[in-house]
Chain A
Amino acid sequence: DTGVSQDPRHKITKRGQNVTFRCDPISEHNRLYWYRQTLGQGPEFLTYFQNEAQLEKSRLLSDRFSAERPKGSFSTLEIQRTEQGDSAMYLCASSLTFSELFFGEGSRLTVL
């Protein structure tokens, strides 16, 4: 499968724990995006990388959230000291410059 892959697909954690999600984009795609989607809402933009540079971060991305794309390939999204309000689907997408975004199937986070 040569699409965007995300891991883990599901994560259940207790409040206060740290979690990390990984995204492997389509191999030649230079742009990588993180979105968050809660039930009944559309995806909300979190952050965006062009190669290894993080070019934009949403105000939704509090200081407990950090994203990296160290070599311009895969990316990680870490949430520290999780809160129940962090429960959501975290979607990764990738694209070439000025081309269609392709989304992964998402990583579903449940914070107890």
Chain B
Amino acid sequence: RKEVEQDPGPFNVPEGATVAFNCTYSNSASQSFFWYRQDCRKEPKLLMSVYSSGNEDGRFTAQLNRASQYISLLIRDSKLSDSATYLCVVSPLSGGYNKLIFGAGTRLAVHP
């Protein structure tokens, strides 16, 4: 079983739609959680950290459920520029920026 599992998609949505991605992780000792974004043939870039209380950054909302070992990302009012692969990432360390374990990613395609 992979340490971080994601639905690979693709999710094809029209502009303005709301889309949600889910992710599960197997290591209950994981301490830090993130969503990264990766554009086609580009490097991954940090989108946002995920906190137990949930957090929001503009149109993006991330949630963490430690009991279920489940992480989510909600994108509201999708833009064409949101088209990318979204990588769910966990780390065993608090403060987290050490050994990052990536999921395989979920592809999002936003169309006009």
Q: CB within 8 Å of B: which residues of A?
A: 31, 40-45, 48, 56, 91, 95, 98-101, 103-106
Contact = CB atoms under 8 A, between A and B. Distances in A.
B44 A45 contact: no
A48 B4 CA distance: 20
22 contacts: A31-B98, A40-B104, A41-B104, A41-B105, A42-B4, A42-B87, A42-B89, A42-B103, A43-B44, A43-B100, A44-B102, A45-B100, A48-B99, A91-B43, A91-B44, A98-B97, A101-B97, A101-B100, A103-B43, A103-B44, A104-B43, A105-B43
Interface residues of B, number: 20
Given A45-B101, A98-B97, A105-B43, 4 more contacts: A42-B102, A42-B105, A98-B96, A103-B43
B95 interface: yes
A42 B97 contact: no
B17 interface: no
Nearest to A106: B43
Given A42-B4, A56-B99, A101 B46 contact: yes
Nearest to A98: B95
B10 to A, nearest CB: 11
B1 to A, nearest CB: 15
A48 B97 contact: no
Main secondary structure of the interface of B (DSSP, over half): loop
Residue from A43, A45, A106 having most chain B Cβ neighbours under 10 A: A43
Contacts of B98: 31, 48
Contacts of A95: 97
Interface in B76-112: 87, 89, 95-105
B45 interface: yes
A99 B91 CA distance: 13
B93 to A, nearest CB: 9
Contact of A99 (B42, B45, B87, B97): B97
Contacts of A48: 98-99
